[in-house]
Structure 1
Amino acid sequence: MQVLSLISTKGGVGKTTIAANLGGFFADAGFRVLLLDLDTQPTLSSYYELSHRAPGGTYELLAYNERDITQLISGTCIDGLDIVLSNDVHRQLNTLLLHAPDGRLRLRNLLSVFRKNYDLILIDTQGARSVLLEMAFLASDSAVSPVTPEILAARELQRGTLQLVKEVEPFRHLGIQPPPISLLINRIPAVSSNARLVQQTLRLVFRDQPGVQVLDAEVPSIEAFPKAATKGLPVHRVERHRPTGRQTPAAIEIIRSLATEMLPQWAMPLSLVTGKGAKHDLRT
């Protein structure tokens, strides 16, 4: 089982959109995928229509150490894609975990309950520095941090997200290896010299920094993403072919490129996704 988190200390950079669309893409490739919504503004929990709603969610998982997955897992309208809904309505989890002896490691210790049922867990997090964010990061095998090509977003990345990475380094003394972090340049406008400059600067700054890489895959700002969200569908099902006259690739190829770069060992089944729904069961 692979665990991938979407992290950033800045809100509005597209974590939820990336999590939802990666989840749908991997599910259509035949993998068993679980979305875990740790955002206190639970947008991911409402992205897809539910086929079944569990009585509990992230609050029961983290506050009560609930291990009965039937109490936690809701089904979505996408075959092979389930979700643990965010239901911390009073926003108590951060305080609870802050004062718990195992707070930052609780999720890491609980994820084994999902191992036999899922190939991939995708964790969406809140856009602010918190115990929940640190907990998700430490529970992950890898992490993606979307960053928009803007100067202020790049500064926040350096000040917030990458500072978090440095501050969890002491967990290595407990035998816990913080995961590598991949920067995803997201929402790139079609024409912007400033955006191109920020892209180039990010790649230059982090070219030789250990534990941090800038992904080759990039996500342009195209209408297909909000259109897919409105329909409650993965974007690769909404845009399977590049529109005439547009230079950027079709949404299906954008997501395929990102998914393949994150989990290259699954490249073959990912290459077979057509955008017409799940047709393969090629889990490895």
Structure 2
Amino acid sequence: MYVLSIISTKGGVGKTTITANLGALLADAGLRVLLIDLDSQPTLSSYFSLTSRAPCGTLELIAQHQLDPRQVVSRTEIAGLDLIRSNDPTGQLATLLLHAPDGRVRLRNLLPRLASAYDLVLIDTQGSRSVVLEMAVLAADRALSPVLPEMLAAREVHGGTLQLLADLQPLQRMGIRTPALALLLNRTEGISNDGRLITAGLRRSFSHTPPLLLLNTSIPGLVAYRQAATLGLPAHRFEPRQPHGRKAPSCLSSVQALAIELFPQWQPQLTQLTLDAGDRR
């Protein structure tokens, strides 16, 4: 089982949209995928319709070590895509984890007990520095951080997300490693000339910054992603084909390319997704 946490210390960068669409595409490719919503504002928890809603969620999973799938795992209408809902609107988890000896590594210790049921776990997080975010980072094999083509984006990554990883480095003395970080340029299409210059500058800024990997894939800022979310559909099903006359690739092509770059071990399954993905609506 592989664990990817989608993180940023800045809100509004598209973490939930990336998480939902990656998860749905990988499930359509035949993988067993679990989404975990650790955002106290639980957009991911309502992104897709549920065919089975578990009575419990992340609060019981983490606070009470509740691992019974009947209690914590909800089923989405997308075959192979499950969800552990966020049910912590008042932030009880943060208080609990701050005072627990194993707080920052609790999810890391719990997830192996789900390994037989899933190929991949995607963790959505809140866009601010917190102990819950640190827990999500330490539970991951890899972290993915969306970055917007804005002037302050590079500063935020260096002063926020990279600083978070640096602050967790001392845990390596206890055998707890921090994951490698991949950056994804998000909402890059249809931006101004200034935005394109900023995007090029971001690529130069991060191209020689270890331990960062700046992904070759970027996600265009298309209205199709918002329209798909409004309808509760994965973007690759909503727009499997590139509209005539538009330079930006289809949602299917973009999310598929991102998934292949992140998970080359599943490239054979992912490349088999074709234009008829849109016929599943």
8 Å CA contact 2:22–2:255 kept in 1: the answer is: yes
Structure 1 stretch displaced more, 200-209 or 122-131: 200-209
Q: Which residue number in structure 1 is paired with residue 15 of structure 2?
A: 15
1:46 aligns with 2:46: yes
Q: 2:100 is matched with which residue?
A: 100
More helix by percentage: 2
1:45-83 C-alpha deviation (Å, 9 max, x unpaired): 000000001111000011111122221100001000000
Query: C-alpha displacement at 1:277, in angstroms?
Result: 5.1
Match of 2:186 in 1: 186
Q: Does structure 2 conserve the Cα–Cα contact (< 8 Å) formed by 1:202 and 1:214?
A: no
1:84-163 map, 5 Å: 84-163=84-163
Is residue 2:163 matched to residue 1:177? Answer: no
Q: Distance in 2 between matches of 1:157 and 1:263?
A: 23
Structure 1 spans left out of the alignment, 5+ residues: 280-284
Secondary structure of the residue aligned to 2:18 is helix
Q: Equivalents in 1 of 2:191, 2:7: separation in Å?
A: 27
Q: Is the CA contact 1:28–1:278 (under 8 Å) kept in the aligned structure 2?
A: no
Stretch deviating more after TM superposition (154-163 or 240-249): 154-163
Q: Identify the residue that residue 282 of structure 1 maps to in structure 2.
A: none
Structure 2 CA distance for aligned equivalents of residues 206 and 157 of structure 1: 10
CA contact (8 A) 2:240 2:277 kept: no
2:215 is aligned to 215
Q: TM-score, normalised by structure 1?
A: 0.95
Report how far residue 278 of structure 1 moved. Answer: 11
The whole-number CA distance in structure 1 between the counterparts of 2:3 and 2:187 is: 24
> Match for residue 248 of structure 2?
248
CA contact (8 A) 1:9 1:161 kept: yes
Q: Please tell me the root mean square deviation across aligned C-alpha atoms, in Å.
A: 1.4
Deviation at 1:158, TM superposition (A): 1.7
Cα distance in 2 for partners of 1:272, 1:29 equals 7
Distance 2:94 2:51 in 1: 29
Query: How many positions carry a matched residue from both structures?
Result: 279
Aligned AA (2:3): V
Given the two structures, how large is their TM-score scaled by the length of structure 2? Answer: 0.96
Report the more deviating stretch, 202-211 or 105-114: 202-211
Provide Cα deviations, 1:204-237, integer angstroms capped at 9, x if missing partner: 2222222211100000111110011011011000
**CA shift at 1:187, angstroms?**
0.8
Moved more, 107-116 or 171-180: 171-180
Instruction: Provide closer, same or farther for how the CA distance between residues 150 and 216 of structure 1 changes in structure 2, counting only shifts above 3 A.
Output: same
Deviations 1:139-192 (A, max 9, x none): 001111001000123322221111101111111111122111001000114142
Find the residue that maps to 2:34 and give its secondary structure. strand
Inter-partner Cα distance in structure 2 for 1:113 and 1:229: 31
Identify the residue that residue 56 of structure 1 maps to in structure 2. Answer: 56
Paired with 2:278 and 2:71, the residues of 1 have a C-alpha distance of: 26
Determine if the alignment matches structure 1 residue 199 to structure 2 residue 199. yes
* Secondary structure of the structure 2 residue equivalent to 1:215: strand
